[in-house]
Structure 1
Amino acid sequence: MNRFHVHLNVADLAGSIRFYTQLFAAPPSVVKHDYAKWMLEDPRINFAISSTGRAPGVDHLGLQVDTADELAALGPRLDAAGGSVVPEDGAVCCYARSDKLWTEDPQGTRWETFHTVGEAATYHVAGAACATDGTTCTPGARTAKPKADKGAPCCAPNSGCC
């Protein structure tokens, strides 16, 4: 089953945690020094906030799926929508390990479809191909190149690796 995902950049993590805890009537399921996440059932949403130095506001939207097969099924839908689809296998981002497909809508809003396969000890892997600015793990689909093979690093903008 799909779960809607929203990731916001915030300037005041503690204040934002207080606000969203009251709004959702539930504490976050994950809290780190730079990140918090609520996995809510009503509405069914993965709502995340982070304070990694980016401008406050919507970082990206997405759909979280429960299985690799569900992620694979979203690929043709993303292709049909018309945006460039950028796969990112084995990403370490937001204290999780996930396989992802990225795209952008016509306005440039980044969309992440992903299947989480485990936890990670860090927000992102410093120097990873998709951590394009050192503080985030969301590549720009318009500048990212799809990887050529499963063993190659993924989606570094203009990296020439693909």
Structure 2
Amino acid sequence: MSTPNPPEYPYGPPPEGWQPYGYGAQPSPQGPPPSGYPGYPPPRGYSAPQPYPGYQPYVGYPGYDPQAPFGRDPATGVPLSDKSATTAGLLQLFLGIFGIGRFYIDSTQIAVAQLCVGLFGIVFGLFCFFGFPVLAGSIIWAIVDGVMMLTGSVTDKDGRKLR
């Protein structure tokens, strides 16, 4: 009994004029360069994607924006900070009388003010009645500031929205 296709062609004979890879006519190294590579024109009918209005694309790594290294807010296009709004808000809620949430987002002037008011309220609350209202004000300030951080109303020191 004979097999219809010899083992070197298990799927039937190759088409007319077929040669194995690497045999036959090879393109000349001095021939026209392939299109689509850096320094060569794009293929016909191709148009590069356009950036958002007012932003210039970065010519290096695709998808990287040097003005927004941590991405952009999808709704507004505003650059995002490297700091987390959740972390900053929770730090401010629990340790806000010491300004820890503000120190986290590098807003040091407000953080130092919160620290001074909080320490003043704690220290003078032990000795006289005047410290308790200051301490209560410091606690309210920390809670309001923490809620504002959690809702996205606070920016970092560079004016970027918290992630």
Q: Same fold (TM over 0.5)?
A: no
- Between structures 1 and 2, the one with greater strand share: 1
Give the structure with higher Rg (CA).
Answer: 2
**If the length of structure 2 is used for normalisation, what is the TM-score?**
0.22
Higher share of residues assigned helix: 2
Structure 1 length normalisation: TM-score? Answer: 0.22
